[in-house]
Copies of this chain bind each other. A is one copy, B any other.
Amino acid sequence: MTLLLPPTEYHARRDRLQALMATRGLDALLLTTDSDIRHVTGFLTRFWESPTRPWFIVVPASGNPVAVIPSIGAHLMGQGWIADIRTWSSPDYEDDGVSLLAAALAETVPPGGAIAAPDHDGTHLRMPLADWARLQALLPDRRFAGDGGTMRIARMVKSEAEIALIRQSCAIAGRAFARVSEIAAEGVPLETVFRRFQALCLEEGADWVPYVAGASAPGGYGDVISPATDVPLARGDVLMLDTGLIRQGYFCDFDRNYSVGQPSAEVARGHATLVEATQAAFDAARPGATAADLFHVMARIVGETDAGRLGHGLGMQLTEPPSLIPADQTVLEPGMVLTLEPAVTLGPGRILVHEENIVIRETGPEWLSPPAPLEIPVI
């Protein structure tokens, strides 16, 4: 179960990483987060919810990765393709895997060589800062460096297997969204709608539902990251539900808007504008276009907003590179999976946000989420 994809998938990922490392002069990659470790190993667990224990994967310049992990994970990691699994009983306040990791790195990286960790936007090092300092002190004759975007580049283009998994998650959310009128109506508190919507996602096949956000407010909402209140839906509200659910370790990330009762002309027009902007970005989403190009296509239609970006990559994480912002010059390639997420401002504190998921193909884009109609659905 831990290895959802065939071993050839992981061998190809190893080879790709090592090719990128070679061009950057990196002797080892040190990975510490769920999605980076899963990219290399296939290790899938919800145990990342516990912050206590650190987990380490070392990808050498050649040969197979080494797992340096708490013993509680040995049984599960042992079901995958990684053969070299080194464990300690964690938590250990004296030495929580640091000397074991240093030994693995010392075997892998020659003196003077470079140990690289992802250090760019959207990343963090998932180990205590004090242990990071201790690790560097144990290896004074190795260099610690950033990964030069190695993981970003390696993960941004998805394999066919990954695209199929994201498509599956999108289809599950699409079926759940199609049933929202079963669970939401005037008078139902928003927090009840959130709960029932998550239950719909599970019923339709989600393994779990890490992300639901949204709002319901008259003629548009104030933000898209708030938890639900206990305020009942009221006639004239726009209800928005945004979900990142997971099936077999891969996310979807898209939303739907609903009008509680007949929409105002302003809301109807706002929704249609969002769908048009999404369609325009879809039409532009061809290999060779940039992430910035898609931003500008949408921004020309929807105007200024506070959202910061109008879409992003998607995969093992709810949001991944690239970002659809003016500064992101990432050139779109076949296999990239993106969200298109335009927003319109209808008035002070009243926005509408729409989101769809697509994959870039040689011949152009394909929808992964079932695209929403121009007319906002009425509940």
Which residues of A are in contact with B by a Cβ distance under 8 Å?
1-2, 44-47, 49-53, 70-76, 89-94, 96, 117-131, 146, 191, 194-196, 198-199, 202-203, 205-213, 222-229, 244, 306-309, 312, 317-319, 323, 325, 327-328, 349
The residue of chain B having its C-beta at the shortest distance from the C-beta of A312 within the complex is B52
CB-CB under 8 A from A74, the residues of chain B are 306
CB within 8 A of A46: which of B94, B205, B212? Answer: B212
Inter-subunit contact A208/B198 (CB<8 Å): yes
Question: A51 to chain B: which residues have CB within 8 Å?
Answer: 122-124, 317-319
* Residues of chain B with a CB closer than 8 A to A127's CB: 124
User: How far apart sit A92 and B73, CA to CA, in the bound complex (Å)?
Assistant: 37
Residues of B within 8 A of A202 (CB): 195-196, 198-199, 202
Q: Which B residue's beta carbon lies closest to that of A199?
A: B199
Question: Given A72-B223, A75-B223, does the pair A319, B121 have CB atoms closer than 8 Å?
Answer: no
How many copies make up the complex? 2
Q: Are B121 and A128 in contact (CB under 8 A)?
A: yes
A199 to B327 alpha-carbon distance, docked (Å): 42
Inter-chain contacts of A118 with B (CB < 8 A): 129
Q: Which residues of B contact A131 (CB under 8 A)?
A: 121
* A128 neighbours in B (Cβ, 8 Å): 119-124
Are the CB atoms of A210 and B325 closer together than 8 Å? no
In the bound complex, how far is the Cα of B128 from the Cα of A311, in angstroms?
A: 21
Instruction: Indicate whether A46 sits within 8 Å of B308 (C-beta atoms), given known contacts A51-B317, A128-B121, A319-B52.
Output: no
- 13 further interface pairs, Cβ-Cβ under 8 Å (given A53-B308, A123-B129): A1-B228, A46-B211, A49-B210, A51-B318, A52-B122, A70-B308, A76-B223, A76-B226, A92-B327, A121-B131, A124-B125, A198-B202, A207-B228
Quick one: which of B52, B126, B199 contacts A323, CB cutoff 8 A? B52
B124 with A47: CB separation less than 8 A: no
Residues of B within 8 A of A117 (CB): 129
A124–B126 CA distance with the chains assembled, in angstroms: 6
- The answer for the CA separation of A222 and B71 in the assembled complex, in Å, is 12
Q: Which residues of B contact A46 (CB under 8 A)?
A: 210-213, 225, 227
Q: Provide the residues of chain B in CB contact with A96, threshold 8 Å.
A: 121
Contacts of A229 in B (CB 8 A): 1
B225 touches A45 (CB 8 A): yes
CB-based contact A207/B225 at 8 Å: no
Instruction: Out of B47, B75, B196, B327, name the residue touching A94 (CB < 8 Å).
Output: B327
Q: B residues within 8 A CB of A121?
A: 52, 91, 93, 96, 128, 131
- What would 8 A/B residue contacts be, using CB atoms closer than 8 Å? A44-B227, A45-B227, A52-B122, A52-B319, A93-B121, A94-B327, A124-B126, A208-B212
Taking CB atoms, residues of chain B closer than 8 Å to A209 are 198, 208-209
Residues of B with C-beta under 8 A to A327: 92-94
State the Cβ distance, A93 to closest chain B Cβ, in Å: 5
Chain B residues in 8 Å Cβ range of A306: 71-72, 74, 89
Contacts of A318 in B (CB 8 A): 49-51
